[in-house]
Structure 1
Amino acid sequence: MTPVELSRTVLHAVRRAVDEGELSVTVPARAVVTPPGPGGWGDYATNIALQLARPAGRPPLRVAEVLRPYLVGAEGVVGVEITGPGFLNIALESAASGEVVRRILRDGPTYGHSDALAGQVVHLHAPHEVRALVVLDATARLLRSQSAHVRTTCDAPPEPEWRAVLGVHVDAYGDIIVDSSDHAVTIRPTATRTIPIPLSLSRDAARWALLHPAAHDRPRITPDHLVQRESNPLFRVRYAHARTRALTRNAADLGFTADPGSIDVTPTAEHLLPALADHPRILTTAATHHAPDRLARHLVSVADAVLPLLPTVLPRGAEKPSAAHRARLALAEAAGTVLAGGLSLLGIDAPEHL
């Protein structure tokens, strides 16, 4: 579907809402659709709800909620999410096709890596503070995944335990002269209240605790990051990955393997497919904005989207493996691949058994 065709689809949704008496507005001549901005989702976004809010006499968010069901049911649309004050983010069927799954399985953990920042030289500098250094390390990984050349420095040498426990490494420290041709960035997120606290957690839990919150938010360093239950986002991400790997092993025992084939956009896959297709954009955005927290939140979204799919992957009882089972297995494996690759960029392990 082209942007022009999608614009017509959006207008058709408005017209249907008007015909059904859910909106009282004049249908505009044009609906603007653009690639999603930061914090967006899917393939395209439209501000039509904000445009119609005043004539409709309703808040933009409410207008978006009225329009969403009409868009979800439109041909070629596989998912619609509302973000911000009322932007409608739309994922298209072409982005959710088996081709995306094939690409993920082909590229493996490097799916989403690109040359978007090739030729760019970035100098990342951090103060002598543990969270700043962990964010610097993850940001450097993201930038390198987009082919940027990265140099990292710090005011003073990292503490030995920061290197040993958190895997922190910088290229140089002290008074550093920055080349005028470099793109210089100082990483200065809101610090932890006391430096030693993150070291009370495991390496993976500590890194997640420092990377998952946005840079302006103060991280919570508590034992909650270690608990193995659904309330812990890191556990959900790693558990979802481990479950996908277990499904691959179990399917092999049953004598079948993954085949993307024709992937049905069932309710359980409605949110997963667009999230997988959106992964390359997330990596580029997180790298460009020096914001590994965007990747961490995206991984939580992928995990939450794949978990409902997993019970449907294997045949039940005397049921024989079918093309649908093979396609679902391919989709699950693709999700596991994205989770593993994303965790690696955050410097966190993705165990196959949990």
Structure 2
Amino acid sequence: MTPEELSSAISACLADAVRAGELAVDVPEEVRVERPKNREHGDWATNIALQLAKKAGMNPRAFAEVLAGRLSSFDGVKSVEVAGPGFLNITLDAAAAGALAKIIVEAGPVYGRNNALAGHIVNMEFVSANPTGPLHIGHTRWAALGDSIARVLRASGAEVTAEYYINDAGNQMNVFANSVLARLHGRDVPEGGYPGQYIVDLGHDVLTAHPDVRELTDDAALPIVRHAAYEAQMRDIKETLAAFGVSFDVYFSEKEGLHDSGAIESAVARLREQGHVYDDGGAVWLRTTDFGDDKDRVLVRANGEPTYFAADAAYYLSKKDRGFPEKIYLLGADHHGYVNRLKAIAACAGDDPEQSIEILIGQLVSVNGAKLSKRAGNIIELKDLIDWLGKDAVRYSLARYPADSPLTLDPELLRKHSNENPVYYVQYAHARSRGAARNAVEAGVERFVDGRDAFDASLLTHPTEGELLAHLAAYPSIVGKAAEFREPHRVARHLETVATAYHSWYDNCRIAPRGDEEITDVNRTRLWLNDATSQVLANGLDLLGVSAPERM
């Protein structure tokens, strides 16, 4: 019995009690069940009596007693105890609890997926590094977390478009192009330009595409260099993201999508029609103070140049026009000031900021002992982190903590092949379960015998089996909560709990028999449970963008 099935059973008992006149209350759409902190209190618990008793005009314990009487006779429920002021502690019989192992194996990669966010259409923008240099440690956290958030949202039924905003307009692109052009001619980078060997490397890329560019005047060469260096740098960014296991559905060019297309002028006109734009001092302003911003914002300067804020407004409207009612922005720690102004844009556009826009702020991450990039000169490149620590170690470690907590990674720990290293601990549990399955099959243990399903859930009676099954059962709800709160670290921490329960079970319950012992359905059923654990660990690691090795 899964937690969802138990929830449905409780709802059915509530409805029956209402029809029988024992309770007078509206039956909620969902009844929450949770794992008790103390296993002696049963497999699952619910506080539904505490929630509904007042509305029913009853004492919570009396309400709980009515519900417990009906639930106790439900198929698969071994016992129901009313505890404290009205909690229901529920213990399942072995067969009902153990049946989950087969459900998980048969579900395979889709186990844990749910429809909690079905119907939600989300645009999620993250990373969005300027195309003027390589990805570095400042982009690493949102690359890992953003991708994992997108994965848990999709696993919960949301339709998610991952988007990378390319900031390829503005003066920084001219500075970038002039830096590459200078190095092409062996000159020093202009003051305020971009340093580093990567600028020289980009110059080589430009020469490969345009061998005669050095024969041109600087004025003639600059647009060629700008475009070719930009293309080469974006290739490098995309290749680095791919090596990190991160992919985007859309790469949105600020230059093409907002400036060249006239979207900024259109956005100003549309916001004016909404009644929130005014002119003052020769500039065009958006009255964002009407919606919680600390001051009104300039859209177009007195010289006719649009501001970055005008681009932000046009970009928001672009997302809206492209059919995304929900927009998630993942911004760095230095972007707290953007929260109110972006929400004000949504309000000025006629949307409800509480529904249409969500802004997540991530804190900085550092790595002890990390060296500055030889190629970039003044940053720690993501490429170097991947080469040094490995994609899995970096991604898992970043996904393991809430985004709003400052984080320092310990490279010595992440390189250890021991249980102290969380990613190794979880991956080893998966590899151990796959090894156990191989050994069992070699010993003659199989899930099916002569076409007969050898699974007997009632045989999974050892306490460690009940513990492991309960954690496997909780996995779908963990995924749902991770999606609801945009917190993939919930998945990581749960996988560690599953791994601990698996190791304990493995040490107590043999799958393959010893020596000449007879193979029984106990062995075969335990193989189902072993493989169910493998599946949950693999599914969870996939949501974090981390591999599930067969061997370690």
Q: TM-score range by the shorter chain?
A: 0.7 to 0.9
Give me the whole-angstrom Cα distance separating, in 1, the residues matched to 2:391 and 2:406: 19
Which residue of the other structure, out of 447, 453, 461, is the alignment partner of 1:265? Answer: 461
Which residue of the other structure, out of 305, 320, 329, is the alignment partner of 1:179? Answer: 320
1:225 aligns with 2:421: no
Which residue of the other structure, out of 222, 243, 266, is the alignment partner of 2:432? Answer: 243
How many Å apart are 1:190 and its aligned residue?
A: 1.8
Q: Alpha carbons of 1:98 and 1:45: their partners in 2 closer, same or farther (altered >3 Å)?
A: same
More displaced 10-residue stretch of structure 1: 124-133 or 158-167: 158-167
Which residue of the other structure, out of 22, 26, 32, is the alignment partner of 1:35? Answer: 32
Contact conserved, 1:125 with 1:186, CA < 8 A, in 2? yes
More displaced 10-residue stretch of structure 1: 155-164 or 317-326: 155-164
Give me the whole-angstrom Cα distance separating, in 2, the residues matched to 1:346 and 1:40: 26
Contact conserved, 1:46 with 1:88, CA < 8 A, in 2? yes
Q: 1:224-264 CA distances to partner (integer Å, 9 max, x unpaired)?
A: 12211111121111111111111111111111213431242
How many Å apart are 1:116 and its aligned residue?
A: 2.8
Contact conserved, 1:117 with 1:148, CA < 8 A, in 2? yes
Aligned partner of 2:506 in structure 1 is 310
Contact conserved, 1:125 with 1:185, CA < 8 A, in 2? yes
1:131 aligns with 2:141: yes
Aligned partner of 1:196 in structure 2 is 381
Which residue of the other structure, out of 144, 150, 163, is the alignment partner of 1:140? Answer: 150
Q: Secondary structure at the match of 2:327?
A: strand
How many Å apart are 1:89 and its aligned residue?
A: 9.6
Aligned partner of 1:108 in structure 2 is 108
Q: Secondary structure at the match of 1:220?
A: strand
Contact conserved, 2:145 with 2:488, CA < 8 A, in 1? yes
More displaced 10-residue stretch of structure 1: 234-243 or 159-168: 159-168
List alignment gaps of at least 5 residues for structure 1: 8-32, 50-74, 79-86
Q: 1:270-324 CA distances to partner (integer Å, 9 max, x unpaired)?
A: 3211111111111111112211111111111111111111242221233222222
Aligned partner of 2:45 in structure 1 is 44
Larger Rg, first or second structure (1 or 2): 2
Give me the whole-angstrom Cα distance separating, in 2, the residues matched to 1:88 and 1:189: 38
Question: What TM-score results when the alignment is normalised by the length of structure 2?
Answer: 0.48
Give me the whole-angstrom Cα distance separating, in 2, the residues matched to 1:350 and 1:88: 38
Letter in 1 for 2:325: D
Contact conserved, 2:124 with 2:329, CA < 8 A, in 1? yes
Give me the whole-angstrom Cα distance separating, in 2, the residues matched to 1:150 and 1:38: 30
Matches within 5 A, 1:76-91: 76=78
Aligned partner of 2:396 in structure 1 is 208
Letter in 2 for 1:240: A
How many Å apart are 1:159 and its aligned residue?
A: 3.3
Q: Secondary structure at the match of 2:466?
A: coil
Give me the whole-angstrom Cα distance separating, in 1, the residues matched to 2:244 and 2:516: 48
Q: 1:125-147 CA distances to partner (integer Å, 9 max, x unpaired)?
A: 22542211211111111111222
How many Å apart are 1:330 and its aligned residue?
A: 1.1
Q: 1:86-121 CA distances to partner (integer Å, 9 max, x unpaired)?
A: x98966426962321111110112211133322210
Give me the whole-angstrom Cα distance separating, in 2, the residues matched to 1:253 and 1:284: 38
Contact conserved, 1:43 with 1:90, CA < 8 A, in 2? yes
Question: What TM-score results when the alignment is normalised by the length of structure 1?
Answer: 0.73
More displaced 10-residue stretch of structure 1: 175-184 or 36-45: 36-45
Aligned partner of 1:294 in structure 2 is 490
Q: Secondary structure at the match of 2:491?
A: helix
Letter in 1 for 2:163: T
Q: Alpha carbons of 1:351 and 1:191: their partners in 2 closer, same or farther (altered >3 Å)?
A: same
Report the identity percentage: 29
Q: Secondary structure at the match of 2:532?
A: helix
Q: Alpha carbons of 1:135 and 1:106: their partners in 2 closer, same or farther (altered >3 Å)?
A: same
Give me the whole-angstrom Cα distance separating, in 2, the residues matched to 1:121 and 1:140: 12
More displaced 10-residue stretch of structure 1: 187-196 or 88-97: 88-97
Give me the whole-angstrom Cα distance separating, in 2, the residues matched to 1:135 and 1:98: 34
Aligned partner of 1:169 in structure 2 is 247
Give me the whole-angstrom Cα distance separating, in 2, the residues matched to 1:185 and 1:221: 26
Which residue of the other structure, out of 138, 153, 159, is the alignment partner of 2:237? Answer: 159
Contact conserved, 1:36 with 1:44, CA < 8 A, in 2? yes
Letter in 2 for 1:196: E
Give me the whole-angstrom Cα distance separating, in 2, the residues matched to 1:163 and 1:106: 33
Contact conserved, 1:282 with 1:295, CA < 8 A, in 2? yes
Q: 1:180-224 CA distances to partner (integer Å, 9 max, x unpaired)?
A: 752112233222137537433101111011111122222332221
Contact conserved, 2:101 with 2:532, CA < 8 A, in 1? yes
Q: Alpha carbons of 1:193 and 1:253: their partners in 2 closer, same or farther (altered >3 Å)?
A: closer
Contact conserved, 1:43 with 1:278, CA < 8 A, in 2? no
Which residue of the other structure, out of 511, 523, 526, is the alignment partner of 1:328? Answer: 526
Letter in 1 for 2:381: P
Q: Secondary structure at the match of 2:531?
A: helix
Give me the whole-angstrom Cα distance separating, in 2, the residues matched to 1:151 and 1:44: 37
Q: Secondary structure at the match of 1:280?
A: helix
Give me the whole-angstrom Cα distance separating, in 1, the residues matched to 2:441 and 2:36: 38
Q: 1:50-102 CA distances to partner (integer Å, 9 max, x unpaired)?
A: xxxxxxxxxxxxxxxxxxxxxxxxx8369xxxxxxxx9896642696232111
Q: Secondary structure at the match of 2:529?
A: helix
Q: Alpha carbons of 1:6 and 1:185: their partners in 2 closer, same or farther (altered >3 Å)?
A: same
More displaced 10-residue stretch of structure 1: 321-330 or 190-199: 190-199
Aligned partner of 1:93 in structure 2 is 92
List alignment gaps of at least 5 residues for structure 2: 1-5, 15-29, 51-76, 81-85, 130-138, 167-233, 255-314, 331-360, 368-379, 448-453
